[in-house]
Homo-oligomer: A and B are copies of this chain.
């Protein structure tokens, strides 16, 4: 039996579209309803309490859109609000931290993993805790990279200023000997090319968007929630404020197609 209800995906803004892209590639039959809180983006610098309150509001909207599963396509929200969302909502809730951490543990050979993300994600220690819970011997070096999101949102995906900031952020971790780097922010897959270029293949990159999509597939399979052919999935995008420049940057870089943006008022 095919379940055509949408997968509800939300993020503080537009960055979560990297997760949508990974979901579209992996699960082309699924309908996806994406909700980006552009009226209150970014969540990175905000307090855990505020982020939790916003997350519950967004998840509530997706529930009313009849979502069969909730995908938290935002590391900041995943790092501070996942237990709360799991408690408050009855459908499966999938974040980006756990899948990324699992993939990093599979990738590392020297058990030294680097994690980059927003200040809120890094401060939460969420990746560190998840990695350590699975493997007590793993060493984790983390670094907040607060300027990468604005650089990405300006579309400076291949630019010398961005390259400089990447090197400034990564050099200490590389010197420290990481062999695996978790891109712990859903914006960062848009910098995969730039970061790979800087790393010169010394380090394995773990893309939390792709790993999140795989976790969604697993969950839908386990709970018999898949939409099956001939259903052809559609992507619907709603934002809490008018779309900004970054929507075009992301749409072009990810080659995503969707119709008109819906303006979703906040409660």
- Residues of A near any B CB (own CB < 8 A): 38-41, 45-47, 50, 119, 146-147, 149-151, 153-154, 156, 160-161, 164-165, 168, 241-242, 244-246
Contact of A146 among B41, B46, B150 (CB under 8 A): B150
Query: Do the beta carbons of B146 and A154 come within 8 Å of each other?
Result: yes
Cβ contacts under 8 Å, A242 to chain B: 46-47, 50
CB-defined A-B contacts under 8 Å, sample of 5? A38-B45, A39-B40, A47-B241, A50-B242, A119-B244
What is the total number of copies of this protein in its complex? 2
Look across to chain B and name the residue whose beta carbon is closest to the beta carbon of A150: B150
Complex Cα spacing A119 to B244, Å:
10
Q: Which residues of B contact A245 (CB under 8 A)?
A: 45, 119, 146
Q: Which residues of B contact A50 (CB under 8 A)?
A: 39, 241-242
A139 to B245, CA, bound (A): 27
Residues of B within 8 A of A39 (CB): 40, 46, 50
Q: In the complex, what residue of chain B is closest to A168 when comparing beta carbons?
A: B161
Specify which chain B residues have a CB less than 8 angstroms from the CB of A161 in the assembled complex: 161, 164-165, 168
- Point out the residues of chain B lying under 8 angstroms from A246, CB to CB: 45
> Within the complex, what minimum Cβ distance (angstroms) separates A11 from chain B?
15
Which residues of B are found within 8 Å of A150, using beta-carbon distances? 146-147, 149-150
